Structure 1
Amino acid sequence: MLPVFLFLLFVGLAGCGSGKTGDDLMNDVREEREMIREKYPNAARMFDEAQGYAIFPNVGKGAYIVGGASGNGAVYENGRHIGYADLKQVDVGFQLGGKAFVEILFFESASALQRFKDGNFELSANASAVLLDEGVSGDIEFQDGIAIVTVPKAGAMAGISVGGQKFDFRPL
């Protein structure tokens, strides 16, 4: 019975996320980008210095041993909106709870951004993200041409897990 429950939980979580599109999504993107520019100077400069970025303003994650996260966002190249992207994450481990966060992928070079735009882009379980928290300033560094930044929004989650993220890009 437990495997069936876990499978159903996984299917349900894999489909969760903000579900926003169009103007609603773009308003959220602008709001979160401006909040980051105001509160986190080390991340703010990345919006101008990186070749491009993908910002997911409302990523939702839930887990009970098996976890899943989902969100949608906008992709920019040299400050210009060029498309949309979907984020899906699956992980397994000792974990319980739910949370919402903002995730941003900064692309150091045109080739790193092109790999993302080519589709079926994945981040491995060992990819490291800088967690921005008020009053704390972490160094943001590129690994394999990508820097990952997350900002917590709400929720509580505890545990240790291993998984990866998959992204799909849709040009304008």
Structure 2
Amino acid sequence: MSVKRVVISFLIFIAGLVAVPEADAGWNPHKEDHARQTVKLFQKTDPSLDRFFREAYGYTVFPDVYKGGLFLLGGARGSGYVYEQGRLIGRASITQVNVGPQLGGQSFAEIIFFRSREDLERFKKGDFELSAQLSAIIVTAGVATASDFADGVAVFALPKSGLMAEASVGGQKFTFKPY
């Protein structure tokens, strides 16, 4: 297979990854439990994140976000759960498109904390997008101690597997679906 065909195939794959919504057959207790386990993993990795769980009005947890890139185009996709004052209120999806030099693939978990009710409402309305300027903080022990909310949100990511090199620009777009 020629390099041109590989590149075209990969670009079609990335376009499908970000354009096609994830199939959902309804409530799945296994996925919800996976979200709770992801929260515990974040808290175990950095116990100082407890401050965000106490102070935030709500949060969204994405247990598995898959990201890939080749040459000048890449993307990411994942699904998660939205909590308001500790109560599960709906599902969310994350889509990301990147442009710039990149190569590889990786998976990670992500939590977005919302400082106030207004910040969570903005997310629920679909008026929420993370730009390249507001990026996730990689979770390591003690990192949340020196972190705070920016523009009403705090974003933390926990790498799971894979390797990706990139110097790209892109943003994360979210959707919300209430229960």
Q: TM-score, normalised by structure 2?
A: 0.86
Deviation at 1:62, TM superposition (A): 0.6
**What corresponds to 2:164 in structure 1?**
157
- Long gaps (5+) in structure 1: none
1:1-172 matched pairs, under 5 angstroms: 4-5=8-9, 7-14=11-18, 22-64=28-70, 65-133=72-140, 135=141, 137-138=143-144, 139-172=146-179
C-alpha separation in 1, matches of 2:50 and 2:42: 6
Larger Rg: 2
Identity of aligned residues (%): 42
Contact 1:51/1:107 (8 A) holds in 2: yes
C-alpha separation in 2, matches of 1:56 and 1:17: 15
What is the alpha-carbon root mean square deviation over aligned residues?
Answer: 2.3
Q: Deviations over 1:19-57 (max 9, x none)?
A: 786222212101111111222112232112211000000
Q: TM-score, normalised by structure 1?
A: 0.89
Task: List structure 1 segments (4+ residues) > 3 angstroms apart after TM superposition.
Answer: 1-7, 15-21
Q: Deviations over 1:68-90 (max 9, x none)?
A: 10000000011111111000000
C-alpha separation in 2, matches of 1:130 and 1:95: 20
Deviation at 1:125, TM superposition (A): 2.0
- Long gaps (5+) in structure 2: none
Contact 1:18/1:59 (8 A) holds in 2: no
C-alpha separation in 2, matches of 1:104 and 1:157: 20
Contact 2:109/2:160 (8 A) holds in 1: yes
Amino acid at match of 1:69: A
C-alpha separation in 1, matches of 2:125 and 2:106: 30
Moved more, 51-60 or 16-25: 16-25
Contact 1:121/1:166 (8 A) holds in 2: yes
